[in-house]
Each structure stands twice: as C-alpha cells, then as structure tokens.
C-alpha cells in the first residue's frame, strides 16, 4: 500500500498523503493522542482510541489459523515464568492474557528486541510478532504457543492483528478509504516492486522470508475485511467497532 502511494501508482484524488514509519507500539501511543489523521494501530488498542478514530475496512492484517507466537529455549510452563511482550497495547499481549489468564507475568520491550532477550537468557520466554514468527528456529528457540491457532480453536474466526483507523474529524474519509484500497490492489499487482520497497524495512531478513511473511498477512481480508473480519474485531474487543462510511 505504501509503495503504491510513494510510487504514484494510484490517483490520490487531490489528497495530501505523507507516510510516517514507526513501530506499532509507538503508533498505538500516538493514537491515544490522536496525533495522526490516518494510522495503523493494533486491533487490541482500538477500544482505547474509539472516541478519536473510526476504522477503515481496508489495510487490516489478520492471522487465519496462525498469529503471534510464544517461544523459549526449551519446554516450560508459561504460567510459571515471565514472558517478554511487544507492548502493552498490542493485540498479541491482549490475546496472550486471554489464552493464559490475567495473572501471567509479562515485561514489555520493543518488538524487535524480544527474540534476542530470549536467546540471551535475559528472558525465559518471549511473545513474537512480525518476521520473528518465521525465524525463531534459526535462533535455536522452540514454539510453545501459537495465539492464532488458539484463537481459531476457541473463537472460530480469523485473529485481527493490525487495523487502520481514521480520525473522526477528517473530511473526505470515503476518498481516503478508496485511495488506500486502490493502493493495496496496486501493490499486489506490482508485487516485485512493492516487495523491493518493503525489504527496506525488513531488518535484514532475506527476500524469501519477507515474501512468505507478506503472504501470511496480506490477503482477501486486507482488501476488505467484510462481515467475517468485522465479527472477529467485535469478538476481540468485546464490543462492536465503528467504521467510516
């Protein structure tokens, strides 16, 4: 989507769109302030910003039978150890507590530090998002819990991870929504160019791993989450979410 906007592959309809790159926990914190007019945010954080943002039906990421994972150096009881997590507002941490209970002990770190914290022994277990879900075995770790699998077995819906919100005071929200959907389509139709652009944010992973990760989380639900996606968001939040028209 961002490649298409930057490359001029879609008609912006006169809108001024400036991509801002940051990690998801920072974006969640900014959403609490209403800093950005349009923003990616964790599905688990939406309830805290619903007074400021409506959701767009495009650009979301869902794990359909897979999702964030808990890893360790060996087998252990996850309810008996501290688990390093990628941020208090992330969907991953919200679902971790649903799966293991509110009393599970956690410690927050930036998402890209979690894997190394476990490998080094500074943490006994870690909750991985992003490409760490594919590379943990290379670091000698084992998977103890897949939250996407747990969610599917218990809820029978895809797990909503990241959403796109638009601030309630933004005019022309329908045009913004349409441009973003067209940008996603353009990115998929020009996959090689879009992947080359995305690799610049891949923290050193190889092209094959990056392509596999994108294939996991850019799917039909990304183009439009539809009723199935909306039902999943409502189930995660325990309430209906409001969408821009």
Residue 225 predicted with pLDDT over 90: yes
The confidence score (pLDDT) of residue 85 equals 96
- Candidates 180, 224, 195; CA nearest to 15 is 180
Pairing of strands 69-72, 125-128: antiparallel
From residue 118, alpha-carbon distances to 126, 142, 185 in Å are 6, 11, 38
Is residue 245 very low, low, confident or very high in pLDDT (cuts 50, 70, 90)? Answer: low
The confidence score (pLDDT) of residue 43 equals 95
Q: Specify the range with the lowest mean pLDDT, choosing from 5-9, 157-161, 216-220.
A: 216-220
From residue 108, alpha-carbon distances to 85, 89, 94, 117, 123 in Å are 5, 10, 12, 11, 11
**74-111 residue pLDDT tens:** 999 999 999 999 989 999 999 999 999 999 999 999 98
Domains and CATH numbers, the chain: 2-63+158-237 (3.40.190.10), 69-155 (3.40.190.10)
Residue 239 predicted with pLDDT over 80: yes
- Catalytic positions, written as ranges: 130
**13-48 residue pLDDT tens:** 999 999 998 988 899 999 999 999 999 999 999 999
The confidence score (pLDDT) of residue 135 equals 85
**173-188 residue pLDDT tens:** 999 999 999 999 999 9
**51-80 residue pLDDT tens:** 999 999 999 999 988 899 999 999 999 999
pLDDT above 70 covers a percentage of the chain that reads: 98
Residue 201 predicted with pLDDT over 70: yes
Three-state SS sequence of the chain: CHHHHHHCCCCCCCCCCCCCCCCHHHHHHHHHHCCCCEEEEEHHHHHHHCCCEEECCCCCEEECCCCCEEEECCCCCHHHCEEEECCCCCHHHHHHHHHHCCCCEEEECCHHHHHHHHHCCCCCEEEECCCHHHHHHHHCCEEEEEHHHHHHHHHCCCEEEEEEEEECCCCCHHHHHHHHHHHHHHHHHCHHHHHHHHHCCCCCCCHHHHHHHHHHHCCHHHHCCHHHHHHHHHHHHCCCCCECC
The confidence score (pLDDT) of residue 147 equals 96
Is residue 215 very low, low, confident or very high in pLDDT (cuts 50, 70, 90)? Answer: confident
Residues contacting residue 110 through CB under 8 Å, at least 6 positions apart:
23, 25, 86, 87
Separation CA 210–CA 197 (nearest Å): 11
């Amino acid at each position: 989507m961002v490649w298409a906007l930057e490359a001029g592959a879609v008609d912006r309809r006169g809108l001024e769109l400036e991509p801002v790159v940051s990690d998801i926990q920072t974006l969640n914190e900014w959403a609490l302030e209403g800093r950005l007019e349009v923003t990616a945010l964790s599905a688990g954080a939406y309830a805290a910003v619903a007074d400021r943002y409506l959701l767009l039906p495009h650009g979301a990421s869902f794990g359909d039978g897979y999702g964030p994972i808990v890893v360790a150096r060996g087998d252990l009881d996850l309810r008996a150890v501290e688990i390093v997590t990628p941020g208090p507002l992330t969907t991953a941490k919200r679902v971790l507590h649903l799966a293991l209970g509110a009393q599970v002990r956690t410690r927050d770190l930036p998402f890209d530090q979690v894997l190394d914290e476990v490998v080094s022994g500074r943490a006994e277990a870690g909750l991985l998002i992003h490409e760490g879900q594919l590379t943990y075995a290379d670091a000698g770790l084992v998977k103890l819990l897949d939250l996407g699998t747990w969610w599917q077995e218990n809820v029978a819906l895809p797990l909503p991870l990241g959403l796109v919100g638009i601030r309630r005071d933004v005019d022309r929200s329908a045009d913004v929504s349409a441009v973003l959907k067209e940008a996603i389509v353009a990115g998929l139709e020009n996959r090689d160019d879009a992947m080359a652009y995305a690799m610049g944010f891949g923290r050193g992973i190889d092209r094959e791993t990056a392509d596999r990760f994108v294939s996991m989380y850019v799917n039909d639900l990304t183009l439009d989450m539809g009723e199935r996606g909306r039902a999943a968001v409502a189930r995660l939040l325990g309430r209906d979410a409001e969408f821009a028209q």
